[in-house]
Amino acid sequence: MKRRGTGVRAIEWRGGTIRILDQTKLPSAEVYVDLRRPGEVTQAIRTLAVRGAPLLGITAAYGLALSAARSPARGPKGLLRDMARAERSLLASRPTAVNIAWALRRARGAAEAAVAAGEDAEAVRFAVLQEAHLIAQEDEISCRAIGERGARLVPAVANVLTHCNTGALATGGSGTAQGVIVAAHRAGKRVHVWVDETRPLLQGARLTAWELGRFGIPHTLIADVAAGSLMARGLVDLVVVGADRVAANGDVANKVGTYHLAVLARHHGIPFYVAAPFSTVDPAVRTGREIAVEERDPSEVTAVLGVRLAPEGTTAANPAFDVTPATLISAIIMDRGLARRPFGASLARLGRAAGPRLPGLRAAPSGRDSREAVG
């Protein structure tokens, strides 16, 4: 389960099960959980045991592969019906992250192509699993490309502010926004990171600080409300955040709290960068106003890590994301290139570009079971 740099791997297919690192237990304990049924995958996504847009896409694809592997159907059509039920559940698990729908379309498309080619049920199962592996491998390469491209935007000596968690725990590789920070650090740049705690679930405090510590990158944890005062004192050189969905015009949905950072950065003349794979772009969504923002349990606000803060009966709102207008974004760092204003034209151009190159997967050995193939 080791990954160079962080020493952890957030997800892995293991002989017919999905092994995840339960992120709700970090940083106090590294607990790995084996998911054996599609419903367990949906629950893991809903409870944030797995999280981060790219990782959610990978998890959803593996969830569909798991549903295919566990289906009792003997024929391809029955298998597709069972997969469709699992797909609906996975789609409903978290509505804002577009990578879930994107990955499920790819995995389902692989199954449908196998059925159209006259393949039997076992070959269809293998096709879905192979596509899930491809999605995971592509994201690892995507993170590398984002990190290398974004590192060029980081000064030789820089105080970087980031929000939420965008590292190996949220992706299939070194991360998106955090991948930029890691790449800059490895390039010899003197980087210090201001880590937003990221209320209400403290992904910055629990996860980002934990990962940066493993890389040996200097960092300081701050309360979310401290970001503006740091900018006013000249202690922030750039802001780098991730994204859960990018609209066609460049508006970005990300963890709640991102929007106010963009406003503050604009006021103080600080570059505000978004780092995300191109798979996060949703061309069907014209502007950020069309993005569905997930509303989570209010108890996440009234209590922190199980400790109640507010009086019993207190009403709370808990939007998990907010939308940052493209006008506040300096650039979007993507695996296919750098998107700048006008973002609509820039993203359309990147949509026509080729993504990072990926060596093809080997074919399944004859007669080998889909639960074991392509490990």
Of 244, 251, 322, 335, which one is the catalytic site residue?
Answer: 244
Beta pairing class for 219-222 and 281-282: unpaired
Residue 223 backbone dihedrals phi, psi, to 5 degrees: -70, 145
Give the separation between CA 159 and CA 21, rounded to whole angstroms: 30
Contact predicate 184/154, CB 8 Å: yes
Q: Annotated catalytic, 244?
A: yes
304's tokens: 């922190």
Determine the Cα–Cα distance for residues 22 and 347; give it in Å rounded to an integer.
Answer: 34
Joined tokens for residue 25: 């237990």
CA pair distance 165, 163, nearest whole angstrom: 7
CA-CA distance, 227 to 194, in Å (whole number)? 8
Write down the H helix ranges in the chain.
Answer: 38-46, 53-70, 76-93, 98-116, 121-151, 177-186, 203, 209-215, 227-232, 258-267, 299-302, 343-352
Q: Which of 207, 291, 267, 268 is nearest to 6 (CA)?
A: 207
Which are the catalytic amino acids?
244
